[in-house]
Structure 1
């Protein structure tokens, strides 16, 4: 197929025979990548336990509408649209691990289909299918397709927005520009920093205008982007107020080495990253369409690097929305080989990714981090608990041990002894605590103490006043160590 961006405005079509109403298999080429992504991502979907980011999704989306609004006033305002989406989903399908992750799984399957369609529009059907299959077998696609966070949905919105832009440039219908604006709005609502994709879209529009020597697409493109961006301004302003709470104050732009290894990071594998990068370079060398696609990928990366020099927004996972476009370009390179050779190369990528696929199903923590085994900690408490037990958490970090224990133990969770009020009423992820520890535990004879390691993997301790009160009035009856946790069972000292 000729590149869409190279097509002139379509002329009136000649009379053609009436098409058959029978379904043609070649019209559903996008189905195979979608099914592949769905099968790979669906395999062992609930195996890896919820990690701290997913626990944030669980507690935020499980609140009442009023409590969700209160939370957005303090933290995670930029994720409010995603939390609302998950709130509705949970109300219908429940909050099991499988249910929580299913929207992301559906998103990567749909994204694989759109990668195929986009590759077919820009290059050929072969390029689309091979690009979609490449996307489906990447370890990072499994990783984010099995996570209750918005990254997979943002990748879907980014791919849909790019496809809608290409279609609008090709056909020039107002409703196509409207769909493009809605896709951009969804992209920003799901992952605000992903709107840097618009810098890549500007490259496509500028190339189209220069190629056809027509500036007619510029006004509708500008209007669509302006409408979407204006609608996102309140979300951006609220997010700017909370950036210190969520991301800190110190910008941390990537090193040059970090930028050069972007493809490795977003693909989820060192070996696959190098192969993908090589395919992308071949796609760039092939023709001008590949060079335009590469520019549409590189410009958003440059924009993210630039913004990260003044705002602490840099993290490789924030660029996952570019993975579909990388696969489109890599698929164009693969399409220069015969079908069997292209499919064999996709199989090679899948085999190279098997170790990383296994890691993705074991833990969602980074490779350098120790697993925080919430389930093991909850099992120990469940095995040894007695009616009337109390529990004390170390919860001044981002590990959310209390949320996890309450999720896994449900109504059998020991009483939260230091809680002043629940986190929902406080509009926070952290439950406010009493400072008078001895008074809070005055009537308790058995107290569990749960201390997660800090985010760097170092073992932590309770605040000194809490430790002092506990050691004065209680003695250790049991002590356990599981990955990422220190657990103690304390019993009250007998009065002499």
Structure 2
């Protein structure tokens, strides 16, 4: 396997430069801002992206994306349909560029770079160029952006889609028309396809539309927005229905959030408790402004309402409140914080505040790029190294599964094995691909499934003297009856045991 249109006037007072007819010149000035912000975010996202080992969710992305197109679609009918759009994108990407760590994460870095561009454009449209510059720098250099830019999951794509949708909404409200509403519909649709929870962005967007329509007494705006939303949701509805059937397997581990959960979510939302405190403190500054409160209120709604809405919805039978699922609100908080910093007097105070917030995240930025930063149970490379050293052709493989299948120990090992090492999954009666699932079908008669396999590598949890700890009882009994332990190696919470058939 290789690793390799309407002419209606604006609804709100425009900045002086636009009002004086300088819009084209301002547009030319702002282009380098969004461009350098995107390039900076891309560069920061790529630095060190090949170091951290993949954690289990990324492993799921890899095993799904590297299947054949038909096999992938068949799998989505049974599990992970809500991640289907991302898997299909990653499938096309890996078909062209391979499945190395950097390659698997590169699309997320590109998506986050695109999000940076829309963060700058939104800040420029609502505030001024100074705010846009601050927003671009802050977004590129906070830890949470690096994290999802270096993760082979859909979250960076969701951030991009929502950031684009917010800017496109503001643009459409200035001159509503089909040519401006349609791109907004596309962005909202993309957000929903990449992660259903992101559709909560429609709450603040609807409030913004209603407030502007009321202020301008142009209720056709609300009608145009409603039609744009309907168009956006049409392709998403089938995914929502399919996702509801699979929800028990996807997020049943989430529990109903308490009020304190809202206070606890910020540290993870920004990837650092210190950065979270700095961003929220800066975001609170514009609330005291005596002028320009409309844009402040609008972008604050974009950041706050989805979080509140997700908490309320999660009080029902299914919980959705989780920091990763709310990462799409980060661009709004960054713009709001940048507006507060940019308004500080003297101006050097704003620069100092920006440098301070970015500096507070430096340690977390370094930690994100550590080899084992993703998850404590990420040990696939170490286990694969032990197996590779002692491998012989024809060797079998028995990883811990059962209730612990979610840790994907088998795939962690498989990803890190060299091409020459081919292990037979002894107790898999049907492979995951043949099962149209993320997991294989376990053999019902383990003793019979052993066949004539001479040697088997058993990978299970350490902490006991039992080399078959937490294996299903029938599997452990079959191995004890027919094999003897040759060697055992402990690797960060796992033990790798080589057993050989007793003569």
Q: Give CA-to-partner distance per residue, 1:424-465, whole Å, 9 cap, x none.
A: 1111111112132222224122110012589xxxx9521111
Does the 8 Å contact 1:112/1:133 carry over to 2? no
Structure 2 Cα separation of the partners of residues 24 and 258 of structure 1? 44
| Cross-structure match for 1:488 | 497
Does the 8 Å contact 1:280/1:330 carry over to 2? yes
User: What aligned pairs does 1:187-266 form with structure 2 within 5 A after superposition?
Assistant: 187-248=191-252, 252-266=255-269
* Residue 375 of structure 1: how far off its partner (Å): 0.4
Match among 340, 343, 346 for residue 351 of structure 2? 343
* Residues paired across the two proteins, number: 480
Residues 271 and 165 of structure 1: is their aligned pair in 2 closer, same or farther, counting only changes over 3 Å?
same
Matched, 1:318 2:321: no
| Secondary structure of 2:428's aligned partner | coil
Match among 378, 381, 384 for residue 387 of structure 2? 381
Q: TM-score, normalised by structure 2?
A: 0.90
| Cross-structure match for 2:435 | 426
Does the 8 Å contact 2:65/2:94 carry over to 1? yes
Residues 460 and 317 of structure 1: is their aligned pair in 2 closer, same or farther, counting only changes over 3 Å?
farther
Residues 182 and 487 of structure 1: is their aligned pair in 2 closer, same or farther, counting only changes over 3 Å?
same
User: What aligned pairs does 1:341-490 form with structure 2 within 5 A after superposition?
Assistant: 341-362=349-370, 370-396=376-402, 397-409=405-417, 410-452=419-461, 461-490=470-499
Structure 2 Cα separation of the partners of residues 15 and 229 of structure 1? 37
Residues 460 and 429 of structure 1: is their aligned pair in 2 closer, same or farther, counting only changes over 3 Å?
farther
| Cross-structure match for 1:295 | 301
| Cross-structure match for 1:136 | 140
* Residue 47 of structure 1: how far off its partner (Å): 0.5
Does the 8 Å contact 1:5/1:122 carry over to 2? no
| Secondary structure of 1:450's aligned partner | strand
| Cross-structure match for 2:271 | 268
Does the 8 Å contact 1:371/1:484 carry over to 2? yes
Residues 470 and 160 of structure 1: is their aligned pair in 2 closer, same or farther, counting only changes over 3 Å?
same
| Cross-structure match for 2:7 | none
* Residue 395 of structure 1: how far off its partner (Å): 2.1
Does the 8 Å contact 2:303/2:330 carry over to 1? no
Residues 13 and 315 of structure 1: is their aligned pair in 2 closer, same or farther, counting only changes over 3 Å?
closer
* Residue 365 of structure 1: how far off its partner (Å): 6.3
Residues 491 and 116 of structure 1: is their aligned pair in 2 closer, same or farther, counting only changes over 3 Å?
same
| Secondary structure of 2:489's aligned partner | strand
Residues 297 and 474 of structure 1: is their aligned pair in 2 closer, same or farther, counting only changes over 3 Å?
same
| Cross-structure match for 1:61 | 65
| Cross-structure match for 1:179 | 183
Does the 8 Å contact 1:389/1:448 carry over to 2? yes
Q: TM-score, normalised by structure 1?
A: 0.91
Does the 8 Å contact 1:62/1:90 carry over to 2? yes
| Secondary structure of 1:83's aligned partner | helix
| Cross-structure match for 1:90 | 94
| Secondary structure of 2:257's aligned partner | coil
Q: Give CA-to-partner distance per residue, 1:261-280, whole Å, 9 cap, x none.
A: 33322101011111111111
Match among 129, 153, 160 for residue 156 of structure 1? 160
Does the 8 Å contact 1:71/1:428 carry over to 2? yes
Structure 2 Cα separation of the partners of residues 230 and 27 of structure 1? 33
Structure 2: runs of 5 or more not aligned? 1-9
| Secondary structure of 2:471's aligned partner | coil
Residues 15 and 388 of structure 1: is their aligned pair in 2 closer, same or farther, counting only changes over 3 Å?
closer
Does the 8 Å contact 1:372/1:484 carry over to 2? no
* Residue 66 of structure 1: how far off its partner (Å): 1.5
Q: Give CA-to-partner distance per residue, 1:285-307, whole Å, 9 cap, x none.
A: 22332123212322111110111
Structure 2 Cα separation of the partners of residues 142 and 453 of structure 1? 33
| Secondary structure of 2:496's aligned partner | strand
Residues 320 and 453 of structure 1: is their aligned pair in 2 closer, same or farther, counting only changes over 3 Å?
farther
Structure 1 Cα separation of the partners of residues 462 and 110 of structure 2? 33
Question: Structure 1 stretch 269-278 or stretch 291-300: which is displaced more?
Answer: 291-300
* Residue 330 of structure 1: how far off its partner (Å): 0.6
Residues 14 and 280 of structure 1: is their aligned pair in 2 closer, same or farther, counting only changes over 3 Å?
closer
